[in-house]
Amino acid sequence: MSAGDLGGFSLFDLFRAEAETHGRSLNDGLLALEANPDDVVAIEPLMRAAHSLKGAARIIGLDLAVKLAHAMEDVLVAAQKGRERLASPRIDQLLRGTDLLAKLAAISEAELTQWNAAHQAEVDVLAAALAAAPPAAAFASAAAVPVAEAFTPAIAPPSLLQPAAAPASTVPAAAASVEAKTVRVSADSVDRIMRLAGEMTVESRRFTGLRDRMLALKERLLDLGETIERLEGEVGSHPRVREAGARVRDAFRDAAHHLAASDELSQRVEETSTSLYHATLGSRMRPFGDITHGFPRLVRDLAKELGKQVKLDLVGASVPVDRDILARLEAPLNHMVRNAIDHGIEMPNDRIAASKAPMARIAIEARHQAGHLIVRVSDDGRGIDPERIRAKVVSRSLAAPEMAERMSIAELLEFLFLPGFSTASTVTEISGRGVGLDVVQSTAQEIGGKAAIESRLGKGTAFRLELPLTLSVVRAAVVEIAGEPYAFPLVRLERVVRMPYAELTTVEGRQQFMLDGVSVGTVDASVLLGLGETERDDTASIMVVAHGRGDEAERYGLLVANFEGESDLVVRTLDARLGRVSHVSAAALTETGEPLLIVDVDDLVQSVRQLLSEGRLRGTSSSVASSQRRKRRVLVVDDSLTVREVERQLLTRLGYDVDVAVAGADGLNAVRQGSYSLVVSDVDMPRMNGFEFVAAVRREARFADLPIIIVSYKDREEDRIAGMQAGANAYLTKGAFRDDTFARTVSDLVGGPETND
């Protein structure tokens, strides 16, 4: 076995894999041991883990890791032999060692030397501490060791009176059993297999068309047979005619036989490809425990730091969750747990005073319910005082006092999700600064779910997330816009309305209709997407969407050309080269294998609101003839993406249609092709710079009067002169974006954003 080639892995990769596995079992095992220090049997696997780590580190010559693992192993051996009892401070040391090894496993091979130098001292100190006598348990209040146990003899036999194992300790076991059966596959290749499986399902449906054609062929043979029979009746029995009749009947029987066989085959292929597809979808699932294995440690460390006693219950570690959702869930979960320990849970003495057990409980639960993933984080702490929220709502003028007075507890709790709304009077290190519960809610919403808080004063608080089971399939309304298929995710639709056009009435010339006694104005989705106006037929198909919640919500009716029905779509991300596409969140394939775009409803509604407020969008008007006014087009040429974006957004906000080019040559090409009212160019660009570009444009007679603005970082007078000599109408420095200089110059040169010609 050569060190260079181990199926693409280096020796350091192998050490890393080992450190990851053993590090996790050390971490989990030490925590379990802390809760249950006399479980001598539990020490052995830890000892072996430390020993294996030492061995792995020795093979690749990681002396620091060898030293540390060796010191840890010695302590564990002593504990197993009964020479030492692992109290909380000792476990702290061992956990620190585990952390160091985990950090080492996280670096790249190239950083190794640097790491060694940086951590030499730390390892030396820790190894010495581990080799020394166990530190005294100075702060028993925070330790999870019950007071009575402090008096048990140091050498404890495996006790029959052991308390039931903490639930936390059962989790790693469950996770380990799941892991034993998994292999690592790159997410890309799983996605690719899924796309192919999806394509297979589409292809297998084509059998149906083939079958229909074969069925028609069979009918024709039957027809031919009957014709021959009639012929026989007319010309009398002739041996040649009889023979032809027999042969046609044979052919008909064969055709029927083959048809039945192909029917069976096509059905089998369709079933198999559907199962393949679902199995591939299923392979995206990972156990919930994948993201929770760090929490027992987190809870322990935080509780200790704050002098609180907390026990963590993890339920549903094996519940399968879509890996994309899982990845998004870790941060909000972390936030909720930190929040619970910091703000929710009381100090032990306060708990005793409130006649609660000093040991508080936090539970993280995951389960499937009615096609959703439910994640619940609850504590039995002090709960949230609704009156404090009410007072805060009033003091921050979020609602009028009389309105706040009437709010229910549930309504008041909703305020906790507002960005920056916190009832905690001090910001602590634990819950972080400035990051509020709004992160929890926005994450839930981004992945198509919702978040809710329940709380009872003095009893505890619970956060409940209701999330879709997978992000890879979305149930959506498939519609036609400008002749092409689009889909609106059903979770973002309030209603789909189909009504005769004639029943739409107008307010200020803008179309509206009544929905449950509420007037809903309509907007043409095709216009919003920049695809021109929707052609009208007799029936209007309207997607009703809402901005905001409850009775306060604004409703908009998005007019589409045709509502084709509901469908489960497998979501595909758009090609990364497209970047962010406004109003579109993803793509999918229709049942016939045609591309379809999934509408980003929130983004679309935002645009509607913005366009309305700028007076740039009227609802769909009653007359089909629209205004002849046209937007002026501006070309922005700049090699910096940031500057390009700033200019593009600024000009778009001013109401212009903006195109961009990334270099002088590119810009020249664009100028020649498009009809622009204005060109905005940078100076410093590779190959053809801004001055050369402007000069080149000016050399063409038809662009002699085209307004050109140069925007540059260069503010020396000679640069300005060079720019004007090249033919620019204005020379601005990039500071012009900070005030209205840029906007004024644009408007001076070309007039307003709209033109009547």
Partner 1 sequence: MSADRISSISQGGHVSLGEDAATTSERLRSLLARPIPPEELDENTRSVAAPAGRRQRFARPILVVQLGPELLGLDVGLARRVVRVAKTHRIPHRTHDAFGGIANVGGELVLVARLDRLLGLDHAGDESARRMVVLGDERRPWVVVVDRVEGVRRFDAEQFLTAPATVARALDGMTEALAPLDDNAFVSILDSSRLARGLERCLS
Binding site for partner 1 (CB under 8 A): 195-196, 198-199, 482, 484-485, 529-531, 572, 574-575, 577-579, 581-584, 587, 589, 593-597, 659-662, 665-666, 668-669, 673
Nearer to partner 1, 506 or 652 (CB): 652
Tell me how far, at minimum, the Cβ of 708 lies from partner 1, in Å. Answer: 18
Task: Report in angstroms how near the CB of residue 581 gets to partner 1 at its nearest.
Answer: 6
Distance CA 16, CA 107 (A): 9
- Least separation in angstroms between residue 575's CB and partner 1 is 6
Length of the chain: 757
Token digits of residue 21: 């596995």
88-106 vs 11-35: helix crossing angle, rounded to 10: 160
For partner 1, the closer CB: 534 or 729? 534
Cα 447 to Cα 286: distance, rounded to the nearest angstrom: 17
Q: Measured from the CB of residue 676, what is the shortest distance to partner 1 in angstroms?
A: 13
Shortest distance (Å) from residue 200 CB to partner 1: 8
CB of 112 to partner 1, least distance (A): 31
- Least distance from partner 1 to the Cβ atom of residue 614, Å: 17
Alpha carbons 417 and 440: distance in angstroms, whole number: 8
Which tokens is 641 given? 């993406």
Q: Which is nearer to partner 1, 146 or 593 (CB)?
A: 593
Nearest to 262 by CA among 337, 208, 306: 208
Q: Least distance (Å) from partner 1 to the CB of residue 578? A: 7
Please tell me the distance from the alpha carbon of residue 660 to that of residue 579, in angstroms, as a whole number. Answer: 14
Q: Which of 545, 747, 544, 504 is nearest to 632 (CA)?
A: 747
| Sign for the pseudo-dihedral over CA of 603, 604, 605, 611 | positive
Give 345 or 658: the residue with its C-beta nearer to partner 1. Answer: 658
| Beta carbon nearer to partner 1, 255 or 608 | 608
3-state DSSP helix/strand/coil % of the chain, to nearest 5 = 50, 20, 30
| Residue among 201 and 461 whose Cβ is closer to partner 1 | 201
Minimal CA–CA distance to 679: which of 653, 655, 658?
A: 658
Closest to partner 1 by CB, 55 vs 593, is 593
We find the least distance from the C-beta atom of residue 665 to partner 1, in angstroms, to be 6
Based on CB atoms, which residue is closest to partner 1, 324 or 484? 484
Shortest distance in whole angstroms from residue 482 CB to partner 1:
8
Q: Which residue has the tokens 């596959």?
A: 185
Cβ proximity to partner 1: between 313 and 657 the closer is 657
How far is 87 from 96, CA to CA, in rounded Å?
14
Q: How many CB atoms lie within 10 A of CB 182?
A: 11
Q: Which is nearer to partner 1, 539 or 582 (CB)?
A: 582
Exposure on the CB side of residue 254, measured as CA atoms within 13 A: 7
Longest dimension (CA), the chain: 118
Report residue 529 CA to chain centroid gap: 24
Nearest to 38 by CA among 145, 166, 159, 167: 159
Q: Could you write out the three-class secondary structure of 250-295?
A: HHHHHHHHHHHHHHHHHHHHHHHHHHHHHHHHHCCEEECHHHHCCH
Query: What DSSP designation does 41 have?
Result: G
Q: How far is the CB of 626 from partner 1 (least distance, A)?
A: 18
Cβ atoms 272, 279 nearer than 8 A = no
Which residue number, 188 or 538, has a Cβ lying nearer to partner 1? 188
The residues with which 321 forms a beta bridge, in sequence order, are 286
Nearest C-alpha neighbor of 31 from the set 74, 79, 91, 90: 91
Q: How far is the CB of 638 from partner 1 (least distance, A)?
A: 11
Residue with Cβ nearer partner 1 (48 or 195) = 195
